[in-house]
Amino acid sequence: MRISTQMMFQNSLSAMQRQQTAMARAQEEIDSGRKLLSPEDDPVAVSTVNQMEKRNSKLTQYQRNIDFATGKLQNQEGLLSNMQDCLQRVREISIASNNDLGNANTRKTFADELKGLRDDLKRLVNSTDENGDFVFSGIYAKESPFVPNGAPPPDTIPNPAITTTTPVNVEIGEGEQVSVSNYGTAFLASGGSDVFAALDTMIADLEAGNPVAAAQETIIAGVQDQVSLTQSTIGNRINRLDQAFENNDTEGIANTKVLSRLRDTDYAEAITKLYQEYMALQATQQSFAKIQGLSLFNYIS
């Protein structure tokens, strides 16, 4: 087989082009930090990377949802704790007042304190969040749980606009949700009577010099139990959120490791390849220069 000068010229030129392309590829991998630059590089790996990136994006959203839900529930937990303090004091006053009915000043003091506790409970159950939404109204975020009645007693009643206790759920994992809602109209009522009606009756009894009726004490005790139950429910939800956050975090870390192996540039390998192609290109260029200088007259002495 005859090898012409033109053929050697063309082969050298093709080799230089391949080496320049390889160098450009290695340089792009270094600059971008990615070794998968197009679907043609490795279709299976590219498909896997796309799926895992979408999954990690969902995990990130789940973690944001968990942070949101945790903040909501922790806020409610704090408010409920304050309500428990108020209710406990109401029960203490009820017991103490029945043991000291003969002292008008004491009865007035107890009645005044109950009014203050009643106002505290109203404020707590009608609390709003940073967006101005009512914390204990669930899907009725713009409606306060308890509203003025217009004519005491009772001077405060459950908001009739709130007709259901439909939960407000937040997605925290694949097929997993947690409710962030608790309705004040549910846990501040017992046996069909709400805590404010009971307090108004207790205040009226004390101001009239009468003992606090056992029925009112029963209502307060029942409300206190419901608040405790709500606190326990919130605690369980927060525990679920903590576990979900840990699970999502573990999965995200594992996914990121796989993604890095499939997608990210191995800088040592890429730099070595760039150097090798550069050296090969130099050698080819030197050979090409010699081929260009070849002529029949080089061999005539």
- How many contiguous H segments (helices) and E segments (strands) does the chain have? 7, 6
Would you state the pLDDT for residue 271? 66
Q: Which of 18-32, 52-66, 230-244 has the lowest mean pLDDT?
A: 18-32
Whether residue 202 is predicted with pLDDT greater than 90 in this model: the reply is yes
Whether residue 191 is predicted with pLDDT greater than 80 in this model: the reply is no
Give residue-wise pLDDT tens across range 36-70. 656 665 677 777 878 888 999 999 999 999 999 99
- What is the mean predicted confidence (pLDDT) over 201-212? 89
The pair of structure tokens assigned to 199 is 């307090």
Q: Which of 89-98, 149-158, 161-170, 267-276 has the lowest mean pLDDT?
A: 267-276
DSSP 139: T
Give residue-wise pLDDT tens across range 126-165. 999 999 999 999 999 999 999 998 777 778 899 999 999 9
Whether residue 275 is predicted with pLDDT greater than 80 in this model: the reply is no
Whether residue 253 is predicted with pLDDT greater than 70 in this model: the reply is yes
Place of tokens 């942070």: 67
Cis link prior to 154 (omega < 30° from 0)? Answer: yes
Model confidence band, residue 29 (pLDDT cutoffs 50, 70, 90): low
Would you state the pLDDT for residue 199? 94
Rounded Cα distance between 301 and 292, Å, is 20
Report helix, strand or coil for 160.
coil
- Compare 93 and 209 and report the one with higher pLDDT: 93
Could you tell me the end-to-end alpha-carbon distance of the chain, in angstroms, rounded to an integer? Answer: 27
Rounded Cα distance between 277 and 274, Å, is 5
Report helix, strand or coil for 146.
strand
Rounded Cα distance between 186 and 227, Å, is 9
Considering 178-187, 212-221, 249-258, the range whose residues carry the highest mean pLDDT is 178-187
Q: Mean pLDDT across the chain, nearest whole number?
A: 83
**Beta carbons of 219 and 190 less than 8 angstroms apart:** yes
Would you state the pLDDT for residue 127? 97
Would you state the pLDDT for residue 299? 47
Cβ-proximal residues to 41 (8 Å cutoff; 6+ apart), any chain: 35
Q: Which of 22-31, 182-191, 229-238 has the lowest mean pLDDT?
A: 22-31
Rounded Cα distance between 123 and 127, Å, is 6
Would you state the pLDDT for residue 138? 96
Backbone dihedral angles phi then psi of residue 295, each to the nearest 5 degrees: -160, 155
Whether residue 109 is predicted with pLDDT greater than 80 in this model: the reply is yes
Would you state the pLDDT for residue 1? 46
Model confidence band, residue 5 (pLDDT cutoffs 50, 70, 90): low
Whether residue 75 is predicted with pLDDT greater than 60 in this model: the reply is yes
